[in-house]
Amino acid sequence: MTATVKLVSLAVAVPDNIILQTDAAETASRLFSDRFQDFKYLARVFESTGIRKRHVARPLSWFEEPHGWEDRMTAYTEVATELFQRAATKALQRAGVEAHQVDCIVTVSSTGLATPSLEARLAGKMGFRRDIERVPIFGLGCAAGVSGLAIATKLAKSRPGAIVLFVAIELCSLAFRLDELTRPNIIATALFGDGGAACVLRAGESGIVEIESTGEHLFPDSLGIMGWKIDDTGFGIILEQSLPVFAEAHLRSAVAGILDRAGLSLSDIDRFICHPGGAKVLAALESALHLDEGSLDIEREVIGDYGNMSSPTVLFVLERAIAAGLPQRSALLALGPGFSASCITLKRVA
């Protein structure tokens, strides 16, 4: 009998700098209102997102100055390694595991570049073994909290007893651009925050919840919905206004297909645990999945407290859902560039 993979522990971490949404709105107005004709119209997004505050890599004043690749990636390397260590250390402690016992680390991040990768930079400080396997993954965006966890699950399943550490780190705020007078950039100033999360996985052991199945769906001809454009200054956000409409129209059939391949159906899911991409996206998810309005309550709490942190956000939701008590079967769901949907089903451990 194949050993099942368990989520043994989960921990999250955020930078110390906090931006209140009211302060973000005032700063954005000061920086953009005289230079962007439609700013007054777009400024309503600061209230409509439902975000109260966000944690960011640098103080608010840092974002009022121009920055290039060197500044951004220096900040990324510094803060991302700090968040990695904090989240991973806490997850290992909660699992009762020492760093030297970890056999494999899967790290996802799409908001910065570091070579050597984050886990290599921390190997000596944290005490990882010399023979540890490292799997750093870039480019999965918001979906990586689920798709990266799926990859870590497959690695754990292939070697029962091995300890796999999964870490998601994103510093979305470092992509803020003073020079980008575009609708997506203005919305990004109102929506994105920074954070990290870590999970310990193991097959054949007890844990919080069983990872039952994993699946992906890549939508054809959808590359322009979400992603990065890259130039001399840094990352520039690609975010189509049609995203909520697209999700409402196409997500249900995609998720149904993923579940069907696992021998399940939508009716088998007692609770969807979703990446909260934004208020409109959450409403679209509820509509697409035929959920009652307001069902994704924990998702709204998380985005209110942290904003959209990209990949780790869904793990922040999962942490609160676990604390509240999971039903018999849940589905972890996130959307990301590609355009893609990632889904993991979770079974409560008796």
142, 172, 199, 343: the active-site residue: 142
Is 142 tagged catalytic?
yes
* d(C-alpha 274, C-alpha 172), whole Å: 19
3-state class of 322 per DSSP? helix
What residues have CB less than 8 Å from 345, skipping those under 6 apart? 211, 212, 213, 214, 259, 262, 264, 269, 329, 330, 331, 332
Residue 169 near residue 156 (C-beta atoms within 8 A): no
Whether a cis peptide bond, with omega within 30° of 0, leads into 66 is no
User: Are 146 and 314 a contacting pair, CB within 8 Å?
Assistant: yes
Report the Cα 236 to chain-centroid distance in Å. Answer: 18
Main-chain phi, psi angles of 110, to 5 degrees: -125, 15
Tell me which residue has tokens 């995203």. 243
Distance CA 301, CA 50 (A): 9
Helix 313-324 to helix 297-306 angle (10° resolution) is 130
Cα–Cα distance, 97 to 95 (Å, whole number): 5
What does the alpha-carbon distance between residue 11 and residue 60 come to, in Å, rounded to a whole number? 26
Joined together, the tokens standing for residue 50 give 């439902």
Cα separation, 214 vs 317, whole angstroms: 18
Q: Which helix (H) or strand (E) holds 63?
A: none
Identify any residues that bridge with 55 across adjacent strands, giving them in sequence order: 18
d(CA 345, CA 224): 28
Cβ contacts of residue 241 below 8 Å, gap of 6+? 183
232: amino acid identity, one letter: D
User: Can you tell me the distance from the alpha carbon of 243 to that of 113, in angstroms, rounded to the nearest whole number?
Assistant: 26
**Annotated catalytic sites, by residue?**
142
